[in-house]
A and B are shown apart, each in its own frame.
Chain A
């Protein structure tokens, strides 16, 4: 059979643009392997990033961090009486460091411990290790506060690391963004893929996708200066910068994401669906709304989930436009502090390796897990949609 083919080929002499033959092309082979390696690096990078972020948070997860402001101190005079092992642990040194360090240096280190203790307040909460789970997630009545509350005050004499207000802030901004962007993006996707004349389509589609090219800091600045003022004048709420403003700003960032994926999903529904519907007497609107959209629903869902992931992970817009007050409030017109903005704003000044540093990495890995899972869910749904439309499932 194959011999037959080989014999007939030279006769035709049709130029196909490809040089035929099975000879070995070393350049192509190398290029192919290189591309394979590059794609592998992407996967490796994702794992490396995750490993790095979680590694920094691991001591916290294992409960090895103690943020208590008041800790027992060893007076300078007692240095020689203290057993070396105790002293080494007290000064947080490795055995090698401890062995190589002279007495004067150790004295200096002990002095820093005393200084730290002097700064510690005389307070019932000063002995609490505030990085324990219950202080991270449950309300607590701190000194000076009237009732048990969720408090994020990481730079304080008693550091309060309750991350619930940050989670609430992220959810608030994301929900507003989705409520604003999803209907608009879906409507645009249905219009462009099903109803618009090709001429319009050629203009609208790139225009919306151009929006994704606007740097988020520009969108954030626009939200801070223009949207905030306009919305406050329209709705008359009290706090100028809030989750609502940030959410609208975020919406602009996720519209192109939701639009292009939803539009892809709608366009990939075979033309025969629409044709059949039209042949049965449906209007174009009915065909789009009742036939094509239900067929593409998993893709639309994936678009929304990806939009959610993008909104959760977006930093600059919320940093600029949300007001960043860490209030525990579900009111959309109150200011909100999101996880991403917190990391971006606070990472610059933390003591490397300190408790605050670890907490920031903890919420970072939390964010990573959430966006990773949502992206993965979206991918899986998209795969299923593809199979369904191809008639394999």
Chain B
């Protein structure tokens, strides 16, 4: 009899431990752009809330949405807005629109080799270069040398954003070489005197960023933190987190709120992105 009670007690303990562990667990999946920021957020938040476990994985925004539909993740990081087809899949899976939160801002820099004399480019010139209409540096005020385009893989949110906002939806030139990450682009441009590439605000040896003009008349803007935050620098985007509204409560809800609070936004700067404008933040 005593033994039985002991068994039941142990079983209950294990079950209880399992349930509490499950309750404090938040899974985050999605964009590789956001993965470092998401990990940093998770780390800081877990330090402050010992009872919450946050598990962050990357893979890509598409992977994140697939997991959101399959309900194998609580939060989905995305570096782009959800596509209608993905929203449709979510509605079919859990009957509601997924809730969208803006969580950070990102400014994209355009990199050239440090020996390249070109200092500034207009959005039109950038479009011409990346769609392959402008093939030589001399057409944009540089030396007489062919332009080599370095782009991101078409699976990247950065690729899509650049295509939409700078190329105005036109296709990248077929000759654009695609690199697996911003670091690879910087590395390639640093070794190629005629190279041009784009990526998040990161710095590397051998490359410099060009200042971007909205059109011929407007001033050339440097991609600094201030210029991105006040949105005068023309190439910027929001980064998002999507969540099933049914799960946007308890721990996950509190975590989402914290991310968008002043505390959470402080961390954004540390990993090279830009904090949200005040009106998009939450009052924590």
Binding site for B on A (CB under 8 A): 91-93, 97, 101-102, 105, 108-109, 112-113, 115-116, 119, 121, 144, 149, 151-157, 160, 165, 229, 238-241, 319-320, 323-328, 334-335, 337, 345-354
Minimum CB–CB distance for B284 against chain A, Å: 30
What are 17 pairs between A and B in contact, CB < 8 Å?
A: A102-B95, A108-B91, A112-B91, A149-B174, A153-B171, A153-B174, A156-B169, A240-B188, A324-B177, A325-B174, A326-B174, A328-B174, A347-B155, A349-B157, A351-B62, A351-B86, A351-B89
Which residues of A lie under 8 Å from residue B146 when comparing CB positions? 238
B70, chain A: closest CB distance, angstroms: 9
Q: Whole-angstrom distance between the alpha carbons of A352 and B69 in the complex?
A: 10
Q: What is the CA–CA distance of A349 and B159 in the complex, to the nearest angstrom? A: 11
Q: Given the known inter-chain contacts A335-B177, A351-B83, please indicate yes or no for A157 contacting B169, CB distance below 8 A.
A: yes
- If A345-B154, A349-B62, A351-B85 are given as contacts, then 8 extra A-B residue pairs at C-beta distance below 8 Å, sorted by A number, are A105-B91, A239-B177, A326-B174, A334-B175, A337-B178, A348-B32, A352-B66, A352-B69
**Which residues from chain B contact A324 at a C-beta distance below 8 Å?**
153, 177-179
In the bound assembly, the distance between CA atoms of A303 and B183 in angstroms comes to 38
Chain B: CB-nearest residue to A154? B154
Report A-chain residues with C-beta under 8 Å of the C-beta of B233: none
Residue picked from B63, B66, B84, B97, most chain A C-beta under 10 Å: B84
A351 to B62, CA, bound (A): 6
CA separation between A100 and B36, bound complex, in Å?
A: 40
B residues 123-163 near A (Cβ < 8 Å) are: 146, 148, 153-157, 159-160, 163
Q: Which residue of A112, A229, A337 contacts B191 across the interface (Cβ within 8 Å)?
A: A229
Q: Check if A350 sits within 8 Å of B155, measured CB to CB.
A: yes
In the complex, A144→B146 CA distance in Å?
22
Bound CA–CA A101/B177 (angstroms): 46
Q: Is the CB of A155 within 8 A of B85?
A: no
Q: Which of B84, B155, B171, B178 contacts A151 (CB 8 A)?
A: B171
> How would residues 58 to 99 of chain B score, 1 for a CB under 8 Å from any chain A CB and 0 otherwise?
011111011001000000000000011111110110011100
**Complex contact A348–B62 (CB within 8 A):** yes
Given the known interface contacts A109-B92, A144-B170, A349-B63, the answer about A325 and B175 at a Cβ–Cβ threshold of 8 Å is yes
Cα separation A112 to B188 with both chains bound (whole Å): 40
Q: Are B175 and A327 in contact (CB under 8 A)?
A: yes
- Among residues of A, the one whose C-beta sits closest to the C-beta of B61 is A349
Instruction: Report Cα–Cα, A119/B159, bound state, in Å.
Output: 18
Tell me whether A348 and B63 are in contact (CB under 8 A).
yes
Contact size range, B: 35 or more
Q: Please, which residues of chain A bring their CB within 8 A of the CB of B169?
A: 121, 156-157
As a 0/1 sequence over residues 163 to 197 of chain B, the CB contacts with chain A under 8 angstroms (1 = contact) are 10000011110111111100000001001100000
Asked whether A112 lies within 8 Å of B88 as measured between CB atoms, the reply is: yes
CA A351 to CA B32, docked complex, whole Å = 16
With a cutoff of 8 Å between Cβ atoms, the chain B residues found around residue A327 in the complex are: 174-175
Asked whether B154 lies within 8 Å of A346 as measured between CB atoms, the reply is yes
Q: Are A155 and B60 in contact (CB under 8 A)?
A: no
Q: Output the least CB separation between A364 and chain B (Å).
A: 15
Interface pair A351/B65, CB less than 8 Å apart: yes
Cβ 8 A contact of A346, one of B32, B96, B153, B188 = B153
Rounded to whole Å, the gap between the CB of B181 and the closest CB of chain A is 11
Q: Which residues of A contact B89 (CB under 8 A)?
A: 351-353
A144 to B92, CA, bound (A): 37
Contact of A325 among B69, B84, B178 (CB under 8 A): B178
Known interface pairs A240-B192, A351-B85; A97-B180 also in contact (CB < 8 Å) = no
Distance (whole angstroms) from the CB of B197 to the closest CB of chain A? 12
Chain A residues with Cβ below 8 Å from B69 are 352
| A345 interface neighbour in B61, B85, B155, Cβ under 8 Å | B155
Kindly report which residue of chain A lies nearest to residue B92, judged by CB atoms: A97
